[in-house]
Structure 1
């Protein structure tokens, strides 16, 4: 039986990008995986065990404070939490606006509040946001509220309650992730820890393939007009995440790294225009 290391890497959201990230970091660590889907957890655990990692799992509802708190408590019971990685999210082509707000917006903010008090000094956190958080401007007052209002009050903000479509809900939630992390990074710093976001563009995962199939022309134009001219891979996101989480880069906190193949640059120069 493998000895269980006492340094813990926590991943909430057992999707392909998150799993690629933890595999780069988890040598001589215990991995704690959380996800709402028991089958996802079982498959992810089996794959990591086959690769030689030490893995624990827990069912977590990423929209509920009590569930996230229980997850954090379990993480602390295992040892010292050195990294927290948050990838839990809902796709705009697979959900109505409310689940997106509940998970991507409110749930992420709750997790950052909770794990702020769990992360070890010298540790680092990372939130997976999206290029969608860079695609359209928000009212400055709404953006300030998204960054600073307590997590449990976010869903009742007038600017959030007025959202009536999934694409807008997703864009607002992902913008909120970016500005929230900037605000939370100051508070995490009080605990001796760092916090950043990465904002991927079109990255080929099972979820992205579903999105591409739903809107092939829209995504095709986005990809073709970008400087890279192709979608990205989970390995490329994981490489960027590894850089931000590495203790050697301890001067980097409160920032967002855009990994989009240049889509936002194409928008800024007028080569690509967002439709709808």
Structure 2
């Protein structure tokens, strides 16, 4: 059995990291869009990597658990690459929070329970987080210490509390298109 690298998000950055770090490993490439995962997997297979596409939804704990169980059935999990996420140009604030915050927290929590000693992981973030104001020590502590299942209930993560200039622009654009 080979060591297993879990890669979530079948994008170019994930593929670049998997190419650099995944040779000789079994790579499980999870993505909500299985066709996209199959396409990236084919490119990597043709380059000599051992990649298996896996349909999974980062916003679903069960989907994450199913992927981890499958990866464990193939070998020892020694690496995690999380390059999945959605941006304001793709999704609503609610979806962004469910995928980028909740899903990432669940993924790190669950892989953290099973990754081999000495295992490594990386999560890729977008520039969207830099558009928001600094949260401050109290909110940072809440994000770090709140149980995962309660994260999306935090007051400052409610959609009406999030002020993002790009999101406001997109909402205005959608309203204008409907007129």
Q: TM-score, normalised by structure 1?
A: 0.57
The partner residue of 2:155 within 151, 154, 158 is: 158
1:145, distance to aligned residue in structure 2 (A) = 0.9
* Corresponding position of 2:105: 109
The partner residue of 2:122 within 122, 126, 135 is: 126
1:166, distance to aligned residue in structure 2 (A) = 7.8
The partner residue of 1:91 within 87, 91, 94 is: 87
2:145 counterpart of 1:148: yes
Count of aligned residue pairs for this structure pair:
167
1:56, distance to aligned residue in structure 2 (A) = 1.5
In the TM superposition, 1:13-92 aligns within 5 A as 13-92=9-88
1:136-164 per-residue CA deviation (whole Å, 9 max, x = no partner) reads: 31142221111111111111111101446
In the TM superposition, 1:245-256 aligns within 5 A as none
Quick check: 1:33–1:41 contact (8 Å CA) kept in 2? yes
Structure 1 residue runs of 4 or more that deviate by more than 6 Å after TM superposition: none
* Corresponding position of 2:177: none
Q: TM-score, normalised by structure 2?
A: 0.86
1:39, distance to aligned residue in structure 2 (A) = 1.0
Cα RMSD (Å): 2.1
CA distance in 2, matches of 1:60, 1:169: 28
Secondary structure of the corresponding residue to residue 88 of structure 1: coil
Q: 1:10 to 1:166 in 2, by over 3 A?
A: farther
1:66, distance to aligned residue in structure 2 (A) = 0.5
Secondary structure of the corresponding residue to residue 114 of structure 2: coil
CA distance in 2, matches of 1:159, 1:113: 22
Q: 1:159 to 1:11 in 2, by over 3 A?
A: same
Quick check: 2:34–2:53 contact (8 Å CA) kept in 1? no
Q: 1:125 to 1:168 in 2, by over 3 A?
A: farther
CA distance in 2, matches of 1:168, 1:107: 24
In the TM superposition, 1:193-232 aligns within 5 A as none
CA distance in 2, matches of 1:75, 1:168: 39
Quick check: 2:83–2:123 contact (8 Å CA) kept in 1? yes
In the TM superposition, 1:249-264 aligns within 5 A as none
